[in-house]
Structure 1
């Protein structure tokens, strides 16, 4: 269910993290969730666990200046954004590690964070911290690009599906997000090109296969919304052709989508490093917020 009780919003005072803060505060207002705003002072990993008093005085003084400055910036940010009902936390260390450890210790069920991906750049970076959190987090992560700043409601929610069990499990979450905002919900399936189809079967037969695949997908999309209620029952369906990640992002851009909801498999072994190329590429380049929901491998 999309009914978070505790939100964690990491901020680094960038425009992207401010966008995430605004979105997180908006969600909290609608759900009554408790909000934790965390700033991590980077660059002090070597002294983690050490007695700071044992450091040379000049190092202690430098650390204190950095800490005080961060504390002041965090206070100013929360004041500007009128974030009065939040738990403010200042910490130091390796950002992704501190963030994930804090989320686990505080029983956080949703992380809302900004991304620094640059659209139009072929190898756009999601941001090393966001990327690590996305890969390792055991709870839902909402990534918010700087371009999506503001607390405007979600008017259009998109949920891509490949008809797998994992993608099906994202449907009720997407419906709950849509219901929360009274938003339009669209289910999207991408028909990816089949290499050498015409060469293997002939042009006419290849066209027939493509048509059959499209017809089958249309039936499956209809079945996903049949006999449901709420936003899912009112959902529209769409079918596009192309590479999955690129097609989803293009659809979101062309149709004014405000949020994309996707599932990822549970993180075991190499899965920690391979979230899924489609999910990660969408998070890097989407023009809107992307909610990534973990799915247990045992059920998916």
Structure 2
């Protein structure tokens, strides 16, 4: 597995680097340690690039989780989110890892995170908590769609759930429940109706897991009455959760993720790490990430070179 991790040498990116190292060790993968220098291309920026490469190499050397992991330092100049997206394509990354403050991202960091999760063609892991060990408790909300199956599959392929207790959550609503009491329906009959809806939702979860080949996994299943945003918030607060996994639908990005605006709310508040799984590449279109004539300097282990977009 090839993991591209973005670093600006801040505490939040240090958490991301450590998580990337943990994941690479689990999968025997490679970490591409990337820093983007934002500048106009003057002499000072060239000096910044050289200094950034030195700091990137030093960060690789001092992070314990990277000691036995293959690492490739990468420094480029340009807009952070655009360059990270292009590097993920150029280096065939399987996962982008980026840090975010556990108190909610700062303005600039938040903009970069939003751009990445909306536009990346590979999964994006937003790291918000201190990383010291593999994930132990993972919550995967599902809406019974292909996006949910992709989220389940990506969590397994990326080795995020190998040693974790996984809870698959499906929220359901009982249509017309609020009107039944007004029609004189007894409380026990209403409760029986809700339980019938719950049973149907449990069957739907099993069908989803079976269709994706996940029915043999030792994963917990939960059905919660209420809207998806309410259910996710309630369960994430009720049970310890290290990672939340969410799949997005085609052409909709983060704003139209499986549970709508709740996904952005999750990333704007304190909480667990979040893995955002995009739709297949064929559903994203084929627009280039950079204009065909654009060029950018790239500095790798062997020195600077010009990469044409």
Q: How far did residue 236 of structure 1 move? A: 1.0
For 2:23, the equivalent position in structure 1 comes to 27
For 1:266, the equivalent position in structure 2 comes to 250
Deviations 1:8-57 (A, max 9, x none): 00111122211111111111111111210100012x2xx4xxxx5xxxxx
Distance in 2, matches of 1:103 and 1:231, equals: 32
The 3-state SS of whatever aligns with 1:170 is helix
Does the C-alpha gap of structure 1 residues 76 and 153 become closer, same or farther in structure 2, counting only changes over 3 Å? Answer: same
Deviations 1:226-285 (A, max 9, x none): 699778531111122344235324423431122222211233xxx257342233333333
Select the residue among 130, 137, 162 that pairs with 1:149: 130
Q: How far did residue 162 of structure 1 move? A: 1.5
Structure with more of its chain in helix, by fraction: 1
Question: Is the contact between residue 115 and residue 126 of structure 1 (CA under 8 Å) also seen in structure 2?
Answer: yes
Which stretch shows the higher mean deviation, 156-165 or 282-291? 282-291
For 1:70, the equivalent position in structure 2 comes to 52
Give structure 1 stretches of 5+ with no counterpart: 53-58
Does the C-alpha gap of structure 1 residues 286 and 117 become closer, same or farther in structure 2, counting only changes over 3 Å? Answer: closer
Q: How far did residue 135 of structure 1 move? A: 0.3
Distance in 2, matches of 1:125 and 1:232, equals: 43
Select the residue among 116, 123, 142 that pairs with 1:140: 123
For 1:55, the equivalent position in structure 2 comes to none
Distance in 2, matches of 1:161 and 1:294, equals: 14
Which stretch shows the higher mean deviation, 84-93 or 250-259? 250-259
Select the residue among 169, 176, 180 that pairs with 1:188: 169
For 1:90, the equivalent position in structure 2 comes to 75
Distance in 1, matches of 2:250 and 2:196, equals: 33
Question: Is the contact between residue 125 and residue 284 of structure 1 (CA under 8 Å) also seen in structure 2?
Answer: no
Does the C-alpha gap of structure 1 residues 12 and 250 become closer, same or farther in structure 2, counting only changes over 3 Å? Answer: farther
| TM-score for the superposition, normalised by structure 1 | 0.77
Select the residue among 283, 287, 291 that pairs with 2:267: 283
Question: Is the contact between residue 28 and residue 34 of structure 1 (CA under 8 Å) also seen in structure 2?
Answer: yes
Which stretch shows the higher mean deviation, 279-288 or 181-190? 279-288
Does the C-alpha gap of structure 1 residues 153 and 179 become closer, same or farther in structure 2, counting only changes over 3 Å? Answer: closer
Question: Is the contact between residue 134 and residue 160 of structure 2 (CA under 8 Å) also seen in structure 1?
Answer: no
Does the C-alpha gap of structure 1 residues 289 and 203 become closer, same or farther in structure 2, counting only changes over 3 Å? Answer: farther
Q: CA RMSD in A?
A: 3.4
2:101 equivalent to 1:101: no
Distance in 1, matches of 2:28 and 2:127, equals: 20
2:111 equivalent to 1:128: yes
Distance in 1, matches of 2:221 and 2:74, equals: 42
The 3-state SS of whatever aligns with 1:274 is helix
When the two structures are aligned, how many residues end up with a matched partner? 274
The 3-state SS of whatever aligns with 1:181 is coil
Which stretch shows the higher mean deviation, 186-195 or 162-171? 186-195
Distance in 1, matches of 2:156 and 2:90, equals: 29
Superposed counterparts of 1:155-234, under 5 Å: 155-176=136-157, 181-191=162-172, 197-198=178-179, 202=183, 204=185, 209-225=193-209, 232-234=216-218
Which stretch shows the higher mean deviation, 231-240 or 22-31? 231-240
Question: Is the contact between residue 262 and residue 293 of structure 1 (CA under 8 Å) also seen in structure 2?
Answer: yes
Distance in 2, matches of 1:170 and 1:156, equals: 16
Q: How far did residue 287 of structure 1 move? A: 2.0
Distance in 1, matches of 2:248 and 2:110, equals: 19
